[in-house]
Chain A
């Protein structure tokens, strides 16, 4: 398990610190952490600190070295955008930058303008908001560049809100701004924000995030399926055209892409070159992800449905295994470390599941007491979760 993750890290060409949590669902983009020191049970003193944030949001946090990076939006129309760096030790503010939204800020009451999780290449931070503002700061909070994609493309917006989290690979930042009207995915030069390419995408609301298949190759998910795109020039490497969800995103582990499509569809990426058309391994309608994206541990793939039922499936065959009813509902995608899954439901209840137990077992619970919709971040033995008003650190 560990070896395969290390291999994957090198294969993806990542330059981040091994403990950094640098994008949506972590350094591997699948919610899996190599951290060996997370708690497997929870008590009241597992909550190390919580701090009040200057605005709301459901973006996940990043952990870069000693800093936890978080985005927020504030004001009566959420038109004030925030990027903060907090000291992981005590939650104190290291720096705080604010911007004015240049695009529309309307969104459904449940979501917010600070919905997409930022990403980092280890040097800079790339923050994207539902207003389609893209902001690049260095790790000290110095502005490197910014873009206002709605200022450039006036109909790029979704009145329910945008939530796709960006990924950075090579010299390119990939930003999916897909919606019913003017629908694009952009490859931006990460050093100055200029367009490398801009793809016309299906005209349909889409809240999924791009998945890094290997350095320079991302999977773009939409209602039509998956398009594997070379980030150097935006060209298409292959497509899976059997449709896919527009809410939970795909996950990749050990050369297999698990797509929320007809339940879950597993594609074996080409061993020699993930840029070649993959082979479909299986498709299972009995693995039905709700809002949270699928997660993989070892030879099990996990989905959580809208009723809060956690279902395990065999990664080789798709055969359904045990099911465990958790207290849901869930918007946040769980994270995995070792044999454990870490969930936080919409009411802020953290639940830890031992996936090696015969039918799965809940080994820890902690009530944060506030709505949590964003996926946790993991680093140095701690989980970081955010509500609409607070950031929490949970550790042994």
Chain B
């Protein structure tokens, strides 16, 4: 009995000793800060952590929850290194981890990939159930399956069943390419798709301008709308009095084209600044993201607070180019966008525009409680009535 007790005790000490080591290493790695702070200690901790047994993988994955993106990468490298050694994976614990939607979405995807590598058939069985998963990476495979199924049905002329699949795929899709694939397929089958609503683009604005941006100085200049929003006010602009006017876009990607509000000679006004303002009623308070696409210099305020600014001109635009964390206030929220156009004259420097949406961290639209129907025609004559079969741009 005594020898057995000793063995058990040693095993317990050994087990708890390793657990403490893993835990301590994780704690050190999670403490890495900006500009490399904590890197030296993290490197030492990582070396120890990477020696852990595969049984420690779930604990390391759990540690990614609420960790900084940098510490998540440290932990990820440890997971890869441990898994590469080829020890027996704790399969059930990893499956439980994948099923726990409270965990870090990318960590759950990583766990899925560990399963996929060791047991591809089991991973395949999981995919259909992930179609509405909070992990965008996990739902992507499920959406791809449904798109494939829809395409097969379309080819075999099962139109209604194909529409059902494509609609399901569109509802679940968060990646732009999959949204566009589902949209194209639905339009080929003469189905309507409300892309602005799917994305949550803000379509109704008030705009004012042009103010001055000669020598790009307007970016730093504080113009009256930056101090106070008064939609009835009149101000001195770059070349005369300016006042607010309503601007509604019906562009299916929510593009607010300021050149249409303030058309100029030739390719449009140059060295000018404009503002766009809108209000948004949130059903509840909480974290959200502003996602902006813009190729002009810009600043953006939420409820009067500057969220971010960037003084880059004409290097490209895409949906979700900038992802900005905000906290919505329950009820009325305000968004103000400052948009600067520079002096460049090349054909690719004509654009003076932006697209802005409100969503959660997965890219799921967070629609205003009082969101009006998507406009058919904008004040700029933009239309949301694409030809069936036309591939969406952007």
Q: Which residues of A contact B (CB under 8 A)?
A: 75-77, 95-100, 102, 104, 106-108, 133, 135, 141-148, 151-152, 154-155, 157-160, 179-181, 188-189, 192-195, 203, 205
B176 contacts A146, C-beta separation under 8 Å:
no
Q: Does B167 contact A (CB under 8 A)?
A: no
- Give bound CA distance, A297 to B84, whole Å: 44
Q: Which residues of B contact A195 (CB under 8 A)?
A: 35-36
Q: Which of B69, B176, B295, B322 contacts A102 (CB 8 A)?
A: B69
Q: Does B140 contact A (CB under 8 A)?
A: yes
Q: Does B308 contact A (CB under 8 A)?
A: yes
B34 contacts A151, C-beta separation under 8 Å:
yes
A152 contacts B80, C-beta separation under 8 Å:
no
**Given A106-B321, A151-B69, does the pair A159, B34 have CB atoms closer than 8 Å?**
no
B76 contacts A180, C-beta separation under 8 Å:
no
A143 contacts B77, C-beta separation under 8 Å:
yes
| Whole-angstrom distance between the Cβ of A369 and the nearest chain B Cβ | 25
**Given A97-B80, A180-B311, does the pair A143, B316 have CB atoms closer than 8 Å?**
no
**Given A151-B70, A181-B311, does the pair A108, B77 have CB atoms closer than 8 Å?**
no
Instruction: Select from chain A the residue with minimum beta-carbon distance to B308.
Output: A154
Q: Does B223 contact A (CB under 8 A)?
A: no
Interface of A is mostly: loop
B36 contacts A147, C-beta separation under 8 Å:
yes
Q: Which of A75, A100, A152, A188 contacts B72 (CB 8 A)?
A: A100
B42 contacts A145, C-beta separation under 8 Å:
yes
Q: Which residues of A contact B175 (CB under 8 A)?
A: 76-77
Contact residues, B218-247 vs A (CB, 8 A): none
Known: A143-B78, A180-B311. 18 other contacts (CB 8 A): A76-B176, A98-B80, A100-B106, A104-B321, A106-B321, A133-B73, A142-B47, A143-B74, A147-B36, A148-B70, A148-B73, A159-B317, A179-B312, A181-B310, A188-B36, A192-B43, A193-B36, A195-B35
Q: Does B81 contact A (CB under 8 A)?
A: yes
| Whole-angstrom distance between the Cβ of A323 and the nearest chain B Cβ | 30
Q: Which residues of B contact A192 (CB under 8 A)?
A: 36, 39-40, 43
- Give bound CA distance, A192 to B43, whole Å: 8
- Give bound CA distance, A100 to B308, whole Å: 23
| Whole-angstrom distance between the Cβ of A80 and the nearest chain B Cβ | 9
A99 contacts B76, C-beta separation under 8 Å:
yes
Contact residues, B56-70 vs A (CB, 8 A): 68-70
Q: Which residues of B contact A193 (CB under 8 A)?
A: 36, 39
- Give bound CA distance, A194 to B38, whole Å: 9
| Whole-angstrom distance between the Cβ of B171 and the nearest chain A Cβ | 18
- Give 10 CB contacts A-B under 8 Å: A102-B70, A141-B81, A142-B46, A146-B39, A159-B295, A159-B312, A159-B316, A160-B315, A192-B40, A194-B37
- Give bound CA distance, A339 to B68, whole Å: 51
Q: Does B318 contact A (CB under 8 A)?
A: yes
A100 contacts B39, C-beta separation under 8 Å:
no
A158 contacts B315, C-beta separation under 8 Å:
yes
Q: Which residues of A contact B47 (CB under 8 A)?
A: 142
**Given A141-B81, A194-B35, does the pair A98, B76 have CB atoms closer than 8 Å?**
yes
| Whole-angstrom distance between the Cβ of A331 and the nearest chain B Cβ | 18
Q: Which residues of B contact A96 (CB under 8 A)?
A: 80, 84
Q: Which residues of A contact B70 (CB under 8 A)?
A: 102, 146-148, 151
Q: Which residues of B contact A159 (CB under 8 A)?
A: 295, 312, 315-317, 321
